[in-house]
Amino acid sequence: MPLDYKRFNGPEDSVSYKRFTADYLKSYDELHSELIDETGHRKDGRAMDEARPMYVRGNFVSQAKGSSYIEMRGTKVVCSVFDPREIVHQNEFSTVGLLFCEVKFAPFACKRQRQSHVPDSEEKALSVALRKAVGPTVCCQLFANFQIDIFVYIIESDGSCLAAAITAAGLALANAAVPMFDVVTASSVAIIGDKIFIDPTEDEEHLAMISPDTNTNHGVITMARLNGLMQIADFRQIGSLDIECILKVTDILEQECQKVFPKIQKTLVGYVKNGIMEQKRLSEEGKAREAKLKDKMLEWRSSIVNNSV
Amino acid sequence: MNENDINMTGHVSIRLASERVNHCVASSNDTPRFYTPGEVISGMQDFMRGHGTYVEDNCLKSSVAGVMQKVNKLICVRPLKSRYVGEIGDVVVGRVLEVQQRRWKVETNSRLDSILQLSSVNLPGGELRRRSAEDEQTMRKHLKEGDLISAEVQSVFADGSLSLHTRSLKYGKLSQGVLVKVFPSLIRRRKNHFHNLPCGVSVIIGNNGFIWLSPRLEEATIDENPDETKNNELQPVDSIDRETLARLKNCIAALVASKMMLDDSSIMFAYEESLKYEDVKELLDPEAMLDVAFMTQHRLNNLMDE
Amino acid sequence: MAGILLSHTEKVYITHGVKNEYRSDGRSNIDYRPMELETDVVSHASGSARLRLANTDILVGVKTEIDVPKPDKPGLGKIEFFVDCSANATPEFEGRGGEQLANSISNIMLRAYQSAQAFNLKQLCIFEGKQCWKLYIDILILECGGNLCDAVSLAVKAALFNTRIPFVKAALMDGGNVDLQLSDDPFDSKWLDVGSAPLLVTLCRIGEKCVVDPTAEEESCSLVSLIVGVTGNPKYYNDYEDEEELPAFEAKCSVISMHGPGSVSPQNLRDAINQGIIAAVCLDEALGKTLFRERRDTEQFKRHSYGFLK
């Protein structure tokens, strides 16, 4: 890997000190039994089928054409979308526009290790997935030979990063007034054995990726959905799952995506409303100013007339 | 997908390299003399220089690897794999690459892209008239990028690129069907390259190695109004025609794998021989391909002997 | 990869064909074209295979090296995939042209092999926490005629089946360092256990249905494709004395991913995953039988090596 000598690159083989804490040395079974308490609730007090509360806002980055911020407890994601620009270094004319997506982790985003500033394979894979998920919804034929840049920055990661990134990108695109067919939302689940964790945290995701010694199901699935068109824009699975489980999870994910949808709609409608109010206010203010000016003019004129007399 | 398909199993065949089939069906042992690039063909000056040859130091030399062909005093060397070298009057099948000013650029498997002038097509309506500016603007309506056409070579430009024309009812835009691409050198030159095969399929064997297979059109549909033909164009092809087209496509692939010359009779023989394989996809197996090619060769030989 | 140019009516013909489950060369929607396979074609690799599927030609070589295991996975070996899209395949791959495709293939292979139920990395462990085998799987795309992912996964599984790992005769602890002693005899080695290694199936959505093993023409009719990775059945790759005693096998998905600019309806997605599993099970059985036949021929010294001749 090429090193960037302009930055301080710590010793390559450094490891997180957390590796030596008692928490880290727990066996698979210990970790597994810790995930759920006796009442059937997860570590953070949620029920199995309960997603984390989600905070959504747009207009987060004032310099960007459109932007958004999503927070789901420990997962915090910023997305910004910039004006379409002509594709550089391209020989052939393309009749459809391109989307350029980049997902980046903050160096301190992850619990387990420090993220290097050089894009690693996970970030590249996330970028590809993001592009696949938002691709079907953007009216690309309107941007012949142009590209739209979408940047996602994961400030803090506590599971379901891709789902948050896709939802954020969908909102930022709409916020940037890019023509779209539909609103895209995403959701993810982790599966360990017969248990399905909706909107998993980092710990749950991590454990779902480790394969147990037995032949049980384990894995993570993320789905992006176009809610109005009832189409699936992206579907990504990893792990080892049997077919019944996948089909069951597909239904659950569809419902979860649907649940996020009104939130995004509401936020967007809110911005449009605010925009209209603002316009109204501005035009009223303008009118008031004009009226004042007119009065002043009349006053001035009459004073000239008076003086001359 | 319905219930039946879930129970169906796919057809997969993986063979070892050591079980590879040799597709050679040449019956006679008289292999022709091969020439390699730079090899002297003849030192004498009373020959004419044809394709695949050049003159250096008063010698006629080959510029490609292939077999020599002599027509009176004209000497050509023909390679197996070559781009198509057009001749006036050839029937070709081509694909429109680009719509340009008053002309279309057409891919015909020759060294350079061919040209179809706006003035060498029959415009809808059929009457002969001057091409107006309006025609120029609606060129894309007539033929757009990706469309397949059958055409005749009208003339050959100095640089070797071809000028095509479609000024006959039999030429023009092609509708639904299958395009098979083969080496141009495998096409046997005939008087007629449009055939209505007895199996209910019409085939255009382009001299450029593009073979177009399509279901035979009913005569009645031709002189209806253009809107209706447009609809007809997009109607699904029925399953019997579809099977015949697939069978013919695989037969041509079998003949090409054995490097056999293609014309209407060899294609038809191969088709008849292939009928013993009930399922068309069996013809994708190399043994079946060899068998079809071998039987076709056998029948062609018998035909020659008579 | 840029698709080839097709006219509208040709696309209509292909789409109707897929709808009728009868494609333009007579195959149904879950049929593959015939393939050709040879293993042990590269002499300097621990294992290798070459696979031809119509015009697609894949060469895979496996190199084994010794590495230190990751601190958080002391008992596991390592596996890495590299894909090289040679400009021999198509001029589009020249320079950095094939990089994106190569990355996406190696990424999906890595994800498919990640679960222990797909490929058990424990068999690559030499000395827990100290030394392990690392498999470098180099995939070379010699010719590119569509359906790359499926061909790559088949060739990789064949190459792993062909891979031998030398026995470690002794391991001495010497002041915290491990000293390994390996045998000089190349036949003093074990085969890898690859029975459960996953195969990828690409399903191209054309119209309302999906097809496996699309031709280049069919690929250009499709806006979206689904790649399903399905674990293999060890039964076909091992010489079990008594087949009845084996535990019941169930094919599992080890990876699913979507490609292309389109989207699918939920019903389409479910059907496609089902269809992919059916196709993968068939592929797995055919591959296992072929590989076993070749190994038997090799053991009886009947095998003729063809390599790149002919």
Chain C 152-211, CB below 8 Å of chain A: which residues? none
Whether the predicted pLDDT of B197 surpasses 90: no
Which chain B residue's Cα is nearest to C212? B10
Domain range spanning residue A83?
17-282
Q: Is C40 on the interface with B (CB under 8 A)?
A: no
CA-to-CA distance for A259 and A255, rounded, in angstroms?
6
Domain range spanning residue B72?
48-79
> A257: domain CATH number?
3.30.230.70
Question: What is the overall mean pLDDT for chain C?
Answer: 85
Residue B237 to chain C, least CA–CA distance (Å): 7
Q: How crowded is the C-beta side of C270, counted as CA atoms within 13 Å?
A: 14
Pick B99 or B29 by higher pLDDT.
Answer: B99
Based on the structure, what is the number of domains in chain B?
Answer: 3
- pLDDT-wise least confident of A135-139, A304-308, B264-268, C40-44: A304-308
**Gyration radius (Cα) of chain A, Å:** 26
In a domain, A2, yes or no: no
| pTM confidence score | 0.87
Whether the predicted pLDDT of B301 surpasses 70: yes
Residues of C in contact with A250 (CB under 8 A): 266, 269-270
In a domain, C97, yes or no: yes
Question: Last residue of some domain: B155, B174, B193?
Answer: B174
C30 and B148 within 8 Å at the Cβ level: the answer is: no
Helix (H, G, I), strand (E, B) or coil at C186: coil
What is the bridge-based pairing of β-strands C131-143 and A231-241? Answer: unpaired
In a domain, A10, yes or no: no
> B119: domain CATH number?
2.40.50.140
Q: Decide if C111 contacts A238 (C-beta within 8 A).
A: yes
Task: Please name the chains neighbouring C, where neighbouring means 3+ C-beta pairs under 8 angstroms.
Answer: A, B
Residue C125 to chain A, least CA–CA distance (Å): 16
Whether the predicted pLDDT of B44 surpasses 80: no
Q: How confident is the model at residue C172 (pLDDT cuts 50, 70, 90)?
A: confident
In a domain, C53, yes or no: yes
Per-residue pLDDT tens over the stretch A183-195 = 999 999 999 888 8
> C175: domain CATH number?
3.30.230.70
Q: Give first-to-last CA distance, chain B, whole Å.
A: 53
C26 and B147 within 8 Å at the Cβ level: the answer is: no
In a domain, A183, yes or no: yes
In a domain, C2, yes or no: no
**Claim to verify: residue B131 and residue B223 sit in the same structural domain:** no
Helix (H, G, I), strand (E, B) or coil at C51: strand
Residue in C115, C251, C269 nearest the CB of A232: C269
**Claim to verify: residue B168 and residue B242 sit in the same structural domain:** no
In a domain, A1, yes or no: no
* pLDDT the model gives residue C55: 83
CA-to-CA distance for C65 and C134, rounded, in angstroms?
5
How would you label A194-233 residue by residue, b for 16+ Cβ within 10 Å and e otherwise?
ebbbbbbbbbbbbbbbbbbeeeebbbbbbbbbbbebebbb
**Claim to verify: residue B74 and residue B86 sit in the same structural domain:** no
Residues of C in contact with B246 (CB under 8 A): 22-26
Based on the structure, what is the number of domains in chain A?
Answer: 1
Torsion of CA C245, C250, C255, C261, to 10 degrees: 150
Domain range spanning residue C107?
8-299
Q: Decide if A97 contacts A82 (C-beta within 8 A).
A: no
Q: Decide if B207 contacts B84 (C-beta within 8 A).
A: yes
Residue in C13, C278, C310 nearest the CB of B177: C13
Number of other residues whose CB lies within 10 A of the CB of residue C33: 22
Based on the structure, what is the number of domains in chain C?
Answer: 1
Host H or E run for residue B20: none
Residues of C in contact with B145 (CB under 8 A): 5
**Claim to verify: residue B195 and residue B301 sit in the same structural domain:** yes
In a domain, A306, yes or no: no
Pick C101 or A286 by higher pLDDT.
Answer: A286
Q: Is B303 exposed, middle or buried (0-12, 13-18, 19+ CB in 10 A)?
A: exposed
- The alpha carbon of residue C17 and the mean position of all alpha carbons in its chain are separated, in whole angstroms, by 29
- pLDDT-wise least confident of A90-94, A259-263, C23-27: A90-94
Question: Last residue of some domain: B156, B174, B192?
Answer: B174
Per-residue pLDDT tens over the stretch C276-293 = 998 998 899 899 988 888
Q: Decide if B184 contacts B84 (C-beta within 8 A).
A: yes
User: What residues have CB less than 8 Å from A211, skipping those under 6 apart?
Assistant: A218, A239, A240, C115, C116, C117
C7 and B283 within 8 Å at the Cβ level: the answer is: no
Q: Is C35 on the interface with B (CB under 8 A)?
A: yes
Residue A236 to chain C, least CA–CA distance (Å): 5
* pLDDT the model gives residue B125: 61
Tokens of B15: 């063979």
What is the bridge-based pairing of β-strands B201-205 and B194-197? Answer: antiparallel
Which chain B residue's Cα is nearest to C298? B18
Residues of C in contact with A235 (CB under 8 A): 226, 256-258, 269
Per-residue pLDDT tens over the stretch A34-58 = 888 888 888 888 888 888 999 999 8
Which chain A residue's Cα is nearest to C113? A239
C26 and B250 within 8 Å at the Cβ level: the answer is: yes
Q: How confident is the model at residue B7 (pLDDT cuts 50, 70, 90)?
A: very low
Task: Please name the chains neighbouring B, where neighbouring means 3+ C-beta pairs under 8 angstroms.
Answer: C
3-state secondary structure C59-107: EEEEEEEEECCCCCCCCCCEEEEEEEECCCCCHHHCCCCCHHHHHHHHH
Whether the predicted pLDDT of A93 surpasses 70: no
Angle at A14 between CA A9 and CA A20, to 5 degrees: 150
In a domain, C305, yes or no: no
Task: Check residue B217 and report its DSSP letter.
Answer: P
Tokens of C36: 């050709």
Q: Which of C139, C148, C153, C157 is nearest to C200 (CA)?
A: C153
- Please, what is the angle between helix B239-257 and helix B264-274, to 10°? 110
Q: Decide if B280 contacts B271 (C-beta within 8 A).
A: no
**What is the per-residue DSSP string for chain A?**
----TTS----TT---GGGGSTTTT--HHHHHHHHB-TTS-BTTS--TT-PPP-EEEE--STTSSEEEEEEETTEEEEEEE---EEPSS--S--SS-EEEEEEEE-TT--SSSPPPSS--HHHHHHHHHHHHHHGGGB-GGGGTTEEEEEEEEEEE-SS-HHHHHHHHHHHHHHHTT--BSS-EEEEEEEEETTEEEES--HHHHHHHHSPPSSS--EEEEEEEEETTTTEEEEEEEEEEE-HHHHHHHHHHHHHHHHHHHHHHHHHHHHHHHHHHHHHHHHHHHHHHHHHHHHHHHHHHHHHHHHHH-
In a domain, C293, yes or no: yes
The average pLDDT across C60-81 equals 88
In a domain, A289, yes or no: no
Residues of C in contact with B283 (CB under 8 A): 26
In a domain, B6, yes or no: no
In a domain, A303, yes or no: no
Q: How confident is the model at residue A9 (pLDDT cuts 50, 70, 90)?
A: low
Task: Please name the chains neighbouring A, where neighbouring means 3+ C-beta pairs under 8 angstroms.
Answer: C
**Claim to verify: residue B104 and residue B217 sit in the same structural domain:** no
**Claim to verify: residue B188 and residue B151 sit in the same structural domain:** no
Q: Decide if B118 contacts B231 (C-beta within 8 A).
A: no
Q: Give first-to-last CA distance, chain A, whole Å.
A: 89
Q: Is C22 on the interface with B (CB under 8 A)?
A: yes
* pLDDT the model gives residue A305: 86
Q: Is A21 exposed, middle or buried (0-12, 13-18, 19+ CB in 10 A)?
A: exposed
Angle at C27 between CA C21 and CA C29, to 5 degrees: 45
Q: Decide if A57 contacts A69 (C-beta within 8 A).
A: yes
* pLDDT the model gives residue B220: 43
CA-to-CA distance for C160 and C47, rounded, in angstroms?
6
φ, ψ (nearest 5 deg) of residue C164: -110, 140
In a domain, C308, yes or no: no
Residue A125 to chain C, least CA–CA distance (Å): 7
Q: Decide if B59 contacts B39 (C-beta within 8 A).
A: no
A217 and C277 within 8 Å at the Cβ level: the answer is: no
C27 and B13 within 8 Å at the Cβ level: the answer is: no
Per-residue pLDDT tens over the stretch C180-229 = 777 777 778 888 888 889 999 999 999 888 899 888 888 888 889 999 99
In a domain, C309, yes or no: no
C50 and B17 within 8 Å at the Cβ level: the answer is: yes
